[in-house]
């Protein structure tokens, strides 16, 4: 909750300045000043909120009632230090209540995303003019994305929700004729890609195949020569069981509402990327004991493992804005548009903020270039390989992807909610395998780029039938010697 309050703070300060204006007007008996203050608070709330009318009314009412009560108490108090102290206390109360409505808004957006189309405009002026012109015809959502940096094109998108009797195809055709709209795409449904001394290490076939003990020995031998810096891997999924016995030591919370996982998919991915090694519990990952590499959760899929393009993009933006080093996406769907520009812009934004984006290539046994967000520009797409180190039968072909790799994705044993462990198949398991390795490299070199990471993994890979299959030990040896020069 503290993180939610922190994000809401700048806007709350603006409202609080209006509140001080109101208190001054009441204290001095200036009715016109009081009226101006109330008007400013109301206009600000109407302008900034993107809720239903009922939620908006509750929010404004809460702000006005809170400010009113603070003002009444202030006026009843005698002049002196306690009067000023009361203003400070009143501000903290107002901050908490105002932020709580923002928190409720975010939760509602996660649970009830009914947007059908994503519209991109040439600029925000044209967008706002279009909203004013068509506000009575369409149900709109704006701002659709709220990145901290608006120098990208993400603030030029508008969400459109269609009524049950409206045909999406005919609406697309009609909107495409409007010159101010430069791009339209469906808000596609996205879903999960299902398909040491750690006591259950023997159940991880990848530990023997990829010489996990030798991998950790390599790191231990170089430990005195290298210093780790914190590196954060964001799992954008169904959430993560933050209290799992084999994750808690490497877990960093972004928000409490992301720290549970009903479905279990996100927790399974987190264990592959960042299970605590050498703790005498459960399984092991590439991360050494007492590692500075942490895993965090940003929930973009619901408890059934489903989400939309909008929720995924919002998650990418949040991960980038919170300075995550690696963004791991074990999800996707078949592209319904030739170009999904919103995904491309979101990945571009994340990379500009310093994040490396790793995506599962999909499990349809087809071309990954037809699968989003694996086909987005700038991502490292990972397909599944089997126990014989061949592309899994269900794995998508990444040969047409600019940065495509293969990694284990069958019979992958990992963490599951409530201190359990399970085996799953799918490229969902392959992506965090690569994310964990890149996250570790990032802890030694915070300037490592997507292209550099891919180059290291490709040059050290095992090649089978044209597929570059990640070899973790060889990759780390190459990274330490050729990249770091140690």
Q: How far is CA 16 from the centre of its chain?
A: 30
- Per annotation, catalytic residue among 428, 430, 435, 450: 428
Output helix, strand, coil percentages for the chain, rounded to the nearest 5: 45, 20, 35
Describe the crossing of helices 81-111 and 309-321 by its angle, rounded to 10 degrees: 140
Classify residue 470 by burial, with Cβ atoms within 10 Å: 0-12, 13-18, 19+. Answer: buried
Band the pLDDT of 14: cuts 50, 70, 90: low
Per-residue burial over 176-213, b = 16 or more CB atoms within 10 Å of its CB, e = otherwise: eeeeebebbbbbbebbbbebbebebbeebbbbeebbbe
At residue 383, φ and ψ (nearest 5 deg) are -100, 165
Q: What is the mean pLDDT of residues 219-244?
A: 87
- Per annotation, catalytic residue among 265, 325, 386, 435: 265
Contact present, 148 and 323 (Cβ < 8 Å):
no
Contact present, 315 and 286 (Cβ < 8 Å):
no
Rounded to a whole number, what is the distance in angstroms from the first to the last CA of the chain?
A: 42
Residue 9 has pLDDT above 50, yes or no: no
Percent of the chain with pLDDT over 70: 79
Q: What is the mean pLDDT of residues 133-145?
A: 88
Sheet holding 462-464, edge to edge: 293-299, 231-237, 326-329, 356-360, 380-385, 404-408, 467-469, 462-464
The residue written with tokens 């700048």 in the block is 10
Lowest mean pLDDT among 82-96, 255-269, 313-327: 82-96
- Give the residue from 66, 58, 68 showing the smallest Cα distance to 97: 66
What's the mean pLDDT when you consider all of the chain? 83
Residue 77 has pLDDT above 50, yes or no: yes
Lowest mean pLDDT among 96-100, 164-168, 209-213: 96-100
Tokens of 295: 């895993």
pLDDT tens profile 143-181: 888 898 888 889 889 998 888 788 888 888 889 889 999
The reply to whether 183 belongs to the active site is no
Band the pLDDT of 194: cuts 50, 70, 90: low
Per-residue burial over 444-465, b = 16 or more CB atoms within 10 Å of its CB, e = otherwise: bbeebebebbbebbbebbeeee
At residue 321, φ and ψ (nearest 5 deg) are -70, -25
The Cα–Cα gap between 241 and 267 comes to: 6
Lowest mean pLDDT among 66-80, 192-206, 235-249, 253-267: 192-206
The reply to whether 216 belongs to the active site is no
Q: Collapsing DSSP states into helix, strand and coil, what is residue 464? A: strand
Residue 2 has pLDDT above 70, yes or no: no
What is the model's pLDDT at position 293? 94
Tokens of 395: 């794995």
Contact present, 233 and 274 (Cβ < 8 Å):
yes
At residue 283, φ and ψ (nearest 5 deg) are -115, -175
Q: What is the mean pLDDT of residues 112-121?
A: 81
The reply to whether 188 belongs to the active site is no
- Per annotation, catalytic residue among 198, 237, 241, 397: 237
The Cα–Cα gap between 424 and 413 comes to: 7
Band the pLDDT of 219: cuts 50, 70, 90: confident
Q: What's 481's DSSP letter?
A: I
Strands 380-385 and 356-360: parallel
Per-residue burial over 261-284, b = 16 or more CB atoms within 10 Å of its CB, e = otherwise: bebbbbbbbbbbbbbbbbbebbbb
Higher-confidence residue of 176 and 391: namely 391
Residue 406 has pLDDT above 60, yes or no: yes
What is the model's pLDDT at position 165? 80
Q: Is the peptide bond before 132 cis (omega within 30 degrees of 0)?
A: no
Residue 108 has pLDDT above 60, yes or no: no
Q: What is the mean pLDDT of residues 230-248?
A: 96
Contact present, 253 and 232 (Cβ < 8 Å):
no
C-alpha distances in Å from residue 174, one per residue of 163, 171, 181, 406: 15, 5, 11, 42
Residue 120 has pLDDT above 80, yes or no: yes
Most confident region among 65-79, 80-94, 159-173, 316-330 by mean pLDDT: 316-330
Residue 334 has pLDDT above 60, yes or no: yes
| Helix/strand number for the chain, H first, E second | 14, 18
Tokens of 274: 């960042």
Higher-confidence residue of 65 and 293: namely 293
What is the model's pLDDT at position 106? 44
Lowest mean pLDDT among 38-47, 257-266, 330-339, 463-472: 38-47
Lowest mean pLDDT among 3-17, 141-155, 190-204, 323-337: 3-17
Band the pLDDT of 349: cuts 50, 70, 90: very high
Band the pLDDT of 327: cuts 50, 70, 90: very high
Band the pLDDT of 352: cuts 50, 70, 90: very high
Q: What is the mean pLDDT of residues 171-194?
A: 84
Higher-confidence residue of 97 and 377: namely 377
């Amino acid at each position: 909750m503290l993180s939610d309050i922190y994000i809401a703070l700048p806007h709350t300060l603006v409202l609080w300045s209006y509140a001080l204006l109101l208190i001054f007007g009441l204290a001095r008996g200036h009715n016109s000043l009081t009226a101006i203050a109330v008007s400013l608070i109301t206009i600000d709330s109407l302008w900034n909120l993107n809720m239903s009318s009922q939620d908006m009314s509750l929010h404004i009412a809460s702000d006005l009632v809170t400010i009113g009560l603070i003002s009444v108490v202030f006026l009843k108090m005698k002049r002196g230090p306690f009067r000023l102290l009361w203003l400070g206390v009143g501000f903290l109360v107002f901050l908490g209540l105002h932020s709580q409505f923002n928190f409720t808004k975010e939760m509602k957006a996660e649970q009830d995303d009914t947007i059908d189309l994503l519209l991109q405009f040439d600029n925000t002026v044209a967008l706002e003019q279009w909203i004013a012109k068509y506000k009575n015809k369409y149900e709109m959502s704006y701002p659709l994305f709220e990145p901290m940096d608006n120098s990208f094109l993400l603030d030029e998108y508008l969400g459109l929700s269609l009524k049950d009797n409206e045909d999406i195809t005919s609406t697309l055709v009609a909107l495409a004729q409007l010159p101010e709209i430069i791009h339209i795409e469906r808000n596609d449904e996205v879903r999960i890609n299902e398909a040491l001394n750690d006591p259950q290490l023997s159940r991880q076939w990848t530990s023997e195949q990829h010489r996990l003990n030798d991998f950790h020995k390599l790191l231990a031998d170089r430990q005195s020569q290298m210093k780790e810096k914190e590196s954060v891997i964001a799992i954008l999924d169904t959430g993560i069981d933050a209290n799992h016995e084999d994750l808690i030591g490497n877990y960093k919370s972004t928000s409490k509402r992301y720290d549970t996982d009903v479905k279990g998919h996100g927790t399974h991915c987190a264990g592959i990327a960042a299970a605590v090694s050498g703790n005498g519990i459960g399984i092991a990952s590439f991360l050494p004991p007492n590692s500075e590499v942490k895993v965090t959760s940003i929930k973009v899929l619901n408890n059934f493992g489903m989400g939309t393009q909008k929720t995924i993009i919002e998650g990418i933006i949040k991960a980038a804005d919170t300075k995550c080093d690696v963004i791991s996406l074990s999800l996707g769907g078949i592209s319904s548009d030739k170009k999904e520009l919103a995904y491309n812009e979101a990945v571009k934004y994340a990379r500009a903020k310093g994040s490396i984006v790793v995506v599962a290539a999909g499990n349809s046994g087809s071309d990954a270039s037809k699968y989003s967000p694996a086909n987005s520009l700038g991502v490292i797409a990972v397909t599944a390989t089997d126990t014989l180190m061949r592309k899994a039968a269900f794995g998508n072909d990444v040969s047409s992807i600019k940065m495509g790799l293969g990694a284990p994705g069958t019979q992958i044993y990992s963490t599951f909610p409530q201190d359990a462990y399970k085996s799953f198949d799918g490229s969902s398991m392959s992506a965090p395998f690569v994310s964990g390795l890149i996250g570790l490299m990032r802890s030694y070199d915070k300037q490592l780029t997507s292209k550099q990471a891919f180059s290291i993994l490709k040059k050290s890979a095992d090649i089978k039938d044209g597929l570059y299959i990640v070899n973790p030990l060889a990759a780390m040896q190459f990274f330490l010697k050729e990249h770091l020069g140690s």
